[in-house]
Amino acid sequence: MRSLFGRDKICAVVAATDAKGMLRQLRRAVRRTRAVELRLDWLRNQREVVRFLSGLRCQPWRATLVATCRRRDAGGKFSRNIAEQLAVLRLAVESGCSWVDLEIESARKLRRGALRAILGRGRAMISFHNFQRTPRNLGAIVRRLERAGGDVVKIATQCETIADSLRVLGLARSGKPGGRRGRRRLVVVPMSEAGLPARILALRAGSALAYAPVENATAAGQVTLEEMKQLYRADNLNSRTRVYGVIGDPVSHSLSPRMQNAAFRSRGINAVFVPFRVRELRDFLGAIAPLGIVGFSVTLPHKQRVLRYLDDCDPLAAAIGAVNTVVVRGGGKLFGYNTDYVGVLRALECRIPLRGSRALIYGAGGAARAVAFALAQGGAVVCICARRMERARALARAVGGEAIPRARLRREYFDAIVNATPVGMHPDADESPLKALELNCRLVFDTIYRPLETKLLRLAKRRGIETVSGLEMFLAQGMAQFEIWTGERAPAGVMRRAVIKALGGEKEGKQERKGSNELAE
């Protein structure tokens, strides 16, 4: 949509309750993009609206400004009638906004030609929002929006599944799912966490704009402006861009997008790595061909479940019975690997001699299987403890180890204890899978890397036990994935810095919040 919105297709969303906050966000927005939506309905009263629009006139912003004053019956915050809504939008045009976004609920109540007369030189985007679901009749809705007399139409729907988001993306190609590509007067916005990958890929699919908040999210599944521009480079993706991802439930905690996108950028590879929240594997598998996915990482709870959908598998991954890396080959054939195995060995073998060591693994899922096979192959005596003892016994049999009930842990001693469960993972960082008195060992290794220091590791340190963060395993398995997918050597330093920067930012944020709380007390 260069002819309508200028060069920038990522539209920053500015939303605050007062004029000062709106202007502050606007100044931040124009440093990143030249397309900005102003959510005037977020302003708490008419006085703040007037104050903000007065401030807007005071300087040339050198950006395409889109004014939105969405009424409550269309999912916004503006509580007054349509006449007052249109008055605000007219004032916004007079204050420098070249576009307005008017929801279909208001637009359809106007006489033909009335909108043009009201807006003067301003141009109109007619929008449809459904915050509950994605309707079946998307093509009919687009046609209804086009009849309302705007210059561009926008459709935003809540996507309960990845399949819903694919139907929304299909509109960007033709105005109806499955049609020809190149419709340049349509904006599509898949909402919700399930729709997040499609939101990132919307410009690549042909949408005129993609939206990203500066500070405050205004819809479910939004990606921040910084992430859209820097992490995913959504405005630089094209039909030749290779798509990779991580699938899991939950998946928002994963730093794989930070690590892999930094690696792609470092190597000059036209590729993007996005997170997919996947509840049902079939839902994701149906998106592989439409989105052009060529490889993906697998995390909880799908590392074992994905095996039944693979066309072939690396012998080691088959023996482990869990896959964390998949390559999509010709004809859509899926080939699985397990790089967690490599991560475990690199994290531990430089700290303790594995051969002859006695190691306890807490957990019996996909991650635990990779740890168990790695330790067994390294010559360790493997013990398994899990909440479900039948699973612990099954894994112990697979590696020639021993299943130990939790009641015995206080009386046992190990060279190493490995947590292979998600207990203690962000955002539940105040939990620990084991108690301090159960940590009778030389070394504790937590496969969790976020937070960098889990509660389990803190308990171990207090007892004078050596600790190993899951960061080392995460980086090693991620580098192996990159090399499998691309055939190139992984940029180890770049990947490490990207992850540590993200974890360091979280740590600094926590320290700032802690300081603020202490001052408040």
Which residues in 87-209 belong to E strands, given as ranges? 99-103, 123-130, 152-158, 186-191
The answer to whether 386 and 363 are in contact (CB under 8 A) is: yes
The answer to whether 384 and 402 are in contact (CB under 8 A) is: yes
Residue 70: CA count within 13 A, CB half-sphere: 23
Closest CA to 219 of 39, 79, 89: 39
Which are the contacts of 274, defined by CB distance < 8 A and separation ≥ 6? 196, 197, 200, 201, 232, 243, 244, 245, 257
415/356 Cα distance (integer angstroms): 10
Determine the 3-state secondary structure of 274 from DSSP.
strand
The answer to whether 67 and 38 are in contact (CB under 8 A) is: yes
348/370 Cα distance (integer angstroms): 13
Hey, which residues does 325 pair with through a beta bridge?
297, 337
Helices (H), 6-113: 19-32, 46-57, 82-94, 104-107
Question: Which candidate in 229, 253, 302, 303 is catalytic?
Answer: 303
Task: Output the six-digit token pair for 391.
Answer: 């699973």
154 a catalytic residue? yes
Three-state secondary structure string covering 197-246 = HHHHHHHHHCCCCEEEECCCCCCCCCCCHHHHHHHCCHHHCCCCCEEEEE
Question: Which candidate in 8, 41, 154, 164 is catalytic?
Answer: 154
The answer to whether 238 and 39 are in contact (CB under 8 A) is: no
Q: Which residues of 31-45 are buried (b: 16+ CB within 10 A; e: fewer)?
A: ebbbbbbbbbbbbee
Terminal C-alpha separation, the chain: 52
118/97 Cα distance (integer angstroms): 14
426 a catalytic residue? no
Question: Which candidate in 283, 314, 340, 446 is catalytic?
Answer: 340
Question: Which candidate in 129, 229, 426, 455 is catalytic?
Answer: 129
Burial class (CB in 10 A: 0-12, 13-18, 19+), 238: exposed
Task: Output the six-digit token pair for 447.
Answer: 């496969």
Secondary structure element (H or E) that encloses residue 428, with its range: none
Q: Is the dihedral of CA 420, 421, 425, 428 positive or negative?
A: negative
Which are the contacts of 204, defined by CB distance < 8 A and separation ≥ 6? 234, 237, 238, 239, 241
Closest CA to 354 of 442, 479, 440, 436: 442
Secondary structure element (H or E) that encloses residue 276, with its range: strand 271-277
Contacts 24+ apart (CB under 8 A), 28-32: 28/214, 28/215, 29/63, 29/214, 29/225, 30/61, 30/62, 30/63, 32/225, 32/226, 32/229
| Active centre residues (catalytic) | 129, 154, 303, 340
